[in-house]
Chain A
């Protein structure tokens, strides 16, 4: 197909051609970036939690005024929860992944170090690894004799100063603190208290990502026993098929054990994750909507413009047909014209996509657009362009040669 006639026609419709190219370029640029943003959100929503998600449920309670016998009552609560059919394990923990409420501390690698190395989150509770279903990749779980009461430690920090307590950390934290070395047996400090690493778990995400996603896995677990005065989240590991029944039964049981207790929330872990990432999900949904709307508007624009061009050039088409051009010649002409305009638009669009990405990187802490997303936009627009122009082009190809002989 010779491009000569197409180019000379377009040269006579510079402004219209330019507008079409501009529309395709803008659409291409936005679509490339939107697809990239969607993939970012989906990736974020897949963030590992490090717990057996499909087996976990949580009941959060609010107790009335502090009680003297909190320790004994918590033991009773947990025993009763474990008796519920379908419950494999139960624990009262200080915090739960993805719930946005957390206790965090700065840690150092030696006592005389001036500035802390980083800030990590503190998980506390008895029987936590078992209940969470965390995966130990090195070392061991806490021994029963290692547990201390959180109440007692809070009152007298010397309890942990005198004897070096144990800590279990995540693999990500271990690699960050001691790159390339085994973390087992190493000591870390917060303020003037030292603890020794006895175990490493694969993952355990922080409850709240206020320090950014890079610090998401910086978590520590402590052998501290919580009670109703200082913790309010019961976590149950249950048979996945009975999650909802167990959750109801657990909430009922907890209210039964203490009628003054208020149940603040009860959720399966799937619900917790879904709530935590709801903004990301909403954003991804919005972006999909934007992509569809953009491609639709652009396609309709192409249909409209092509229709006008075909109507305007009826006589010319008739003359060409009379001079021996076949129907498919005419069809091909309009398709090539659209392909040409789309290609120019896409080339400009890619440059623009890069520019938009630079702007987003500056303002929204986004990474650089990987080049792989550029062809996505290109292919989408070539396809949309060809589909959109097909109707008007077919109409053009059906213009009979006799039109050429009619005057007006």
Chain B
């Protein structure tokens, strides 16, 4: 029976080639546009560390002077999760979470030892020993530095696999020296390729937060002692910004990991307690504290730009119009064929048969639209990859999206076919058979 319906459908398509092409084309365009935007949206709202993010949090306190009120909805977005060195180090040393790390992004000047090679700038992270274990950064060779190294301001460094490939041909370079900002650092570890998208511990979510990842990971105190600067800082009183550690400025982030998600509540109590203590000491003035989950923090920082959400809404608006269009055309076509249906009904076809026949016909339109939509989506993503957006080069259609394309296409076409099919089976045979 199904094949008979297929035959009928193909015959009907042949009779209205232009119109069938039009239906498939509009549906394809709508699906292509929606899937393209959904892929990019999914890419940007993705979880940078899927297996760990639920247990990772970042605390924020308000270090502003007493006269500055805390904004009702927390620290402003541009503040991010910045913290003063004093607060971050106190909280780090309190060890109230399972693991904790202080981070600050920097630009590191790297001098290759090969003759003739030019110095270049790489992304760097100044951080504390537990960074690697906490974020699950995998080592290919060696390992991270110890608390002892950090305290001694040892000139040691962990490098990315990309940098290792570039400078040392990808071998085990543990123990070799790397010249960073005109000082010799001993390589302690080489990471396997590791680059959370986006780099949530970065200062801002621009170009640097996507892509291949950071090149060097340095002990915070050692790097600072050698004059490396954080990517940005915010001060609430005048001070000497050459000594950010003591200046009234925020420039580091603190990340903490709990053994269980429930650890967050206890940690927030501890955080409040700490702030109360500091208020009593006169160092801080505002009792409010915040503890953002990793994904909550990314949402708050609008990692997914408003423009992109708007474009996705537009794409779905477009898909809606395409579906309405297809419904209209299928319906008109079906009404036009009332006579044919009348004949089939009179010959003994029951309503369910007619309904099934029309659903098969619209499903075919839908699947054809889906295939075309997939082609359009691939094209759309190709265009996106050539856009100057920081995430552009990551825009590829993945398997779930591939499946989603067909689901969307089929559902859209079945919805589009429902009304015409229902109308078709409502045709009463007798009037259609009368010749005028």
Contacts and interface: CB of A to CB of B under 8 A. Distances in A.
Interface of A: 13, 15-16, 19-20, 22-23, 26-27, 30, 34, 37, 62, 64-66, 100, 114-116, 154-155, 157, 190-193, 210-211, 260, 262, 264, 275, 278-279, 282-283, 286-287, 290, 293-294, 297-298, 300-301, 304-305, 307-309, 311-312, 315, 360, 363-365, 407-408
A407 B423 contact: no
B182 A65 contact: yes
A115 B67 contact: yes
Interface residues of B, number: 55
B240 A305 contact: no
Interface stretch (B193-201, B285-293, B327-335, B346-354): B327-335
Interface of B: 19, 22-23, 26, 29-30, 33, 67-69, 78, 107, 109, 118-121, 181-182, 206, 227, 237-238, 240-242, 305-307, 309-311, 314, 317-318, 320-322, 324-325, 327-329, 331-333, 335-336, 387-389, 419, 423, 435-436
B192 to A, nearest CB: 29
B109 A19 contact: no
B327 A282 contact: no
Given A293-B29, A305-B328, 15 more contacts: A16-B328, A20-B328, A27-B321, A30-B314, A114-B67, A191-B238, A192-B238, A262-B109, A282-B387, A283-B311, A293-B33, A297-B26, A300-B325, A304-B19, A308-B332
Residue among B78, B120, B309, B324 with most chain A CB within 10 A: B324
Given A154-B241, A279-B305, A407-B435, A297 B332 contact: no
5 contacts: A16-B328, A19-B327, A115-B68, A297-B29, A304-B332
B238 A297 contact: no
B289 to A, nearest CB: 22
Contact of B332 (A16, A23, A154, A262): A16
A260 B120 CA distance: 11
Contact of A154 (B119, B182, B242, B311): B242
B320 A26 contact: yes
Residue among B19, B23, B30, B118 with most chain A CB within 10 A: B19
A132 to B, nearest CB: 24
Q: Report, nearest first, the 5 A-B pairs whose CB atoms are least far apart.
A: A308-B332, A19-B328, A301-B325, A114-B67, A191-B238
Contacts of B237: 191
Given A15-B419, A114-B67, A312-B336, A279 B19 contact: no
Contacts of A408: 435-436
B322 A260 contact: no
Residue among A157, A264, A282, A407 with most chain B CB within 10 A: A282
Contact of B238 (A65, A193, A300, A360): A193
A214 to B, nearest CB: 15
Nearest to A312: B336
B116 to A, nearest CB: 13
Given A30-B314, A65-B227, A210-B78, A309 B321 contact: no
Contacts of A190: 238
A81 B265 CA distance: 60
A45 to B, nearest CB: 14
A285 to B, nearest CB: 10
Nearest to B29: A293
A360 B310 contact: yes
A13 B329 CA distance: 13
Residue among B314, B333, B335, B389 with most chain A CB within 10 A: B314
Nearest to A191: B238
A192 B335 CA distance: 81
A260 B119 contact: yes
Contact of A294 (B182, B238, B305, B318): B318
A54 B310 CA distance: 34
Nearest to B236: A106
Nearest to B23: A304
A165 to B, nearest CB: 14
A300 B119 CA distance: 59
